[in-house]
Structure 1
């Protein structure tokens, strides 16, 4: 897992890159807002990071399920 903190021109963000359960590449963005202090980044890693990853995985699962349903309906 990798966290890159960067300024996008408006907000400070964190790009979380990780390997999914199937070995696939996954990434999600977390918006800190103002420039985070080191203690805020540590807090994010220890208290919030897993929730962000889990939420991203759930969103991807839902999107893939919806895409499969739509594909099957068009095909049938």
Structure 2
């Protein structure tokens, strides 16, 4: 599912996670702790974007991510 050289920009840390193993481990941890669902994935030749919803107890975060830019909205449940 992820390329060998996958990069995950972590909003909670300063440094991105680099490599398939690191990205998969982080994703598995999130799935164990919270409800994460992808709403839409857009792909083109050079750009990709994903819309997701993350809920941990009463806190909900939704975000569109694209290379080089993010737009975030957070709201209570």
Give TM-score scaled by structure 1 length: 0.28
- Which has a greater percent of helix? 1
Larger radius of gyration: 1
- Which has a greater percent of strand? 2
- RCO higher in structure (CA 8 A, sep ≥6): 1
Give TM-score scaled by structure 2 length: 0.28
